[in-house]
Amino acid sequence: MQIPEVIEKWTAPINTVTIGATKDQGGTRAKTVTVGGQTTLPFLTFEGELPHKPVIAGFVADTPPDWPDVLKQAIGKEIESPTEWAQKCVQEYKVDLINLKLIGAAPAGKDASPEACAKVVEEVLKAVDVPLILWGCGDDEKDNLVLPDCSQAAKGENCLLGSAKETNYRTVVAICKSDKHKIIAEAPVDINIGKQVNILLQDAGFDLKDVVMFQTTAALGYGFDYVYTILERARIAGLKGDKLMACPQLCDVGGEVWRIKEAVVDEDVLPGWGKLAKRGPMWEATCASVYLQAGADILIMAHPEAIKNVQATIEQFA
Amino acid sequence: MIFIGERINTGFKDVKAAVTNKDADVLKEWAVKQTKAGATYLDVNLGAVSSKPEDLCWMIEQVQAASDLPISIDTNKPSMLKEAVPLCKKPPLINSTTAVDEKMEVMFPIVAQAGASIIGLVMDEEGSPKSADKRVENAGKLLAKAMEFGINPEQLFLDPIVMPLKYMQEQAREILGAANQFKLFSDPPPHIVCGLSNISNGTTKKKLINRTFAVMLVANGLDAVICDVTDQDLVDALLTAELVMNKQIYADGFIEAFRS
């Protein structure tokens, strides 16, 4: 008896998004990074095309984040300088791109000026030649001032800029169109809002083929399964032909994991949980690897050991 | 939802006159209007105006000059199809065959060769079935035969044959019951389509009846419809029904997104 073919055939591919611009393309990057283009679910190489491997963006900030010592020590003194930190990410950790967060702009923190932030962007662009993901500080009002300057400083570099939400999408569309950047569309762990933000971006005249979706990110133990199912459901909808859901997806694993107690406190507080120096990076690597299964295309990661581990996973499966 | 725009049909007076007088503008206008309204295919029907394949080909060429949408060629005459199919820029939908062996054996090779799709009416030698069971039996015949010719279930659109509510009121339930069973045939299932306006034939509340029945059909697996795509209330109701059936992910702007 002939066994029928049971492989799934999907209707439409996921969009292909390229980040970064070389000299020929009007930028100064040595190479570009392309994600998306899949015609099936992650790692099912027997079922469809998976033309671009998931990539890792090294977490870099203009000012050292409020992280546990195990992470700060693993990165080293370079964490004090965004340019040196970025260089270390590229040269030592071999990340595909740099994720620069301008957390120093936060009004409750250093309250760095838009000009100072733009200068950091310029310096990081000079220090490394990989493509950049750019974020403000997360404070909407301040980001409305910071993002235009930073976008301008990276004009023509085809960065991935974050993030467009229901509240600020018009500003982000305007600056990304004029400075030629791609957009991160953000929703608060809500697939319906995720789709709505994409509808708004499209209505504002921004091509969804230049968009990466970001459903925020949850660390394992903190709503991880919600984000996982959203990523998966969005990916399936995209493959089934929903053009509004056919964007590559981003997860900020490093930014989330190092805030939770399992990755912050050691055995003295959590007896029986094992050494933090091992547990922390393990927590990050586990979250990242599982998000790959859900349909993440870009992972933002922080700990060098976690990065190494996930790079090996990608090599093995993709 | 796959919307097949019904308007370029010589059953409508303006289209009939346009074909008789070779007035391309009328056809082009309807092509543009239905494309803007969100159609997936544009049905082109020469009807009884002429039996010459070149007239059907002329209609298709005018429509393709005004719209990039694929064509639904509304004829069951193989001689017409042989001329019309090669003209289509995108794989067309052929409308239609019945579940009669001799018919399927002529139509399916044309479909398979062109990589087209086809609507299969669940009628056989005895005409239109009265019961859900007979409809399902004929649908099974259509699917089995199509697969013999290498046609995938996704290329087959099963039409349970809609009967006028006013004259055959007992039929609507049989149609809904049949559609519900069609989706169980295979995975992925064949498409389920219908010529919607039949349901309201002879009635005074055509749009309301069309819309109500369309929503009930979606609840029973309908995923394609031959209809007036410029009827916004109908299209909105169908888009909503697809959300209710969890076929699409909800977003506040789901209607606007369809029209943008």
For the segment B152-175, what is each residue's pLDDT rounded down to a tens digit? 999 999 999 999 999 999 999 999
For the segment B103-136, what is each residue's pLDDT rounded down to a tens digit? 999 999 999 999 999 999 999 999 999 999 999 9
In angstroms, what is the C-alpha Rg of chain A?
Answer: 19
pLDDT of residue A110: 95
Chain A residues near residue B248 by CB distance under 8 angstroms: 237, 242
Six-digit token string for B126:
């005895």
Length of chain A: 318
Largest CA distance in chain B: 49
Q: Could you give the C-alpha distances from B209 to A20, B11, B140, B213, B245, in angstroms and in order?
A: 54, 21, 29, 6, 20
Distance of CA B198 to the CA centre of its chain: 12
Nearest to B73 by CA among B130, B127, B8: B8
pLDDT of residue A3: 78
pLDDT of residue B22 exceeding 90, the answer is yes
Q: Averaged over B42-49, what is the pLDDT?
A: 96
- Contacting residues for A24 by C-beta, under 8 A, at least 6 apart: none
- Residue among A199, A234, A245 minimizing CB distance to B256: A199
Q: How confident is the model at residue B187 (pLDDT cuts 50, 70, 90)?
A: confident
Kindly state whether B248 is in contact with chain A, defined as any CB-CB distance less than 8 angstroms.
yes
Nearest to A182 by CA among A291, A103, A298: A298
Q: What percent of chain B has pLDDT over 90?
A: 98
- pTM of model > 0.80: yes
Q: Round to whole Å and give the CA distance between A27 and A155.
A: 8
pLDDT of residue B260 exceeding 90, the answer is no
Mutation to test the A interface, candidates B147, B187, B249, most A Cβ within 10 Å? B249
Distance of CA B219 to the CA centre of its chain: 18
Q: What angle do CA B239, B241, B242 make, to 5 degrees?
A: 65
pLDDT of residue A8: 87
Q: What angle do CA A217, A222, A227 make, to 5 degrees?
A: 40
Closest residue in B to A244 (Cα) is B257
For the segment B25-36, what is each residue's pLDDT rounded down to a tens digit? 999 999 999 999
Q: Averaged over B37-43, what is the pLDDT?
A: 98
Chain B residues near residue A234 by CB distance under 8 angstroms: 249
Torsion angles phi and psi, residue A162, rounded to 5: -125, 145
Question: What proportions of chain A, in percent to the nearest 5, are helix, strand and coil?
Answer: 45, 15, 40
Q: Round to whole Å and give the CA distance between A29 and A52.
A: 19
Q: Averaged over B198-205, what is the pLDDT?
A: 96
Q: Chain-wide mean pLDDT for chain B?
A: 96
Would you call B249 and A9 a contact, using CB atoms and an 8 Å cutoff?
Answer: no
pLDDT of residue A5: 75
Chain B residues near residue A200 by CB distance under 8 angstroms: 253
The single-letter code of the amino acid at B158 is L
Kindly state whether B188 is in contact with chain A, defined as any CB-CB distance less than 8 angstroms.
yes
Chain A residues near residue B185 by CB distance under 8 angstroms: none
pLDDT means over runs of 10, chain A (318 residues): 81 97 97 98 95 98 96 98 98 98 96 98 98 96 96 98 95 96 97 98 97 96 96 97 97 97 93 95 97 98 98 94
Would you call B257 and A9 a contact, using CB atoms and an 8 Å cutoff?
Answer: no
Q: Averaged over B225-233, what is the pLDDT?
A: 97
User: Bigger pLDDT: A7 or B195?
Assistant: B195
Tell me the nearest-neighbour CA distance from A200 into chain B, angstroms.
8
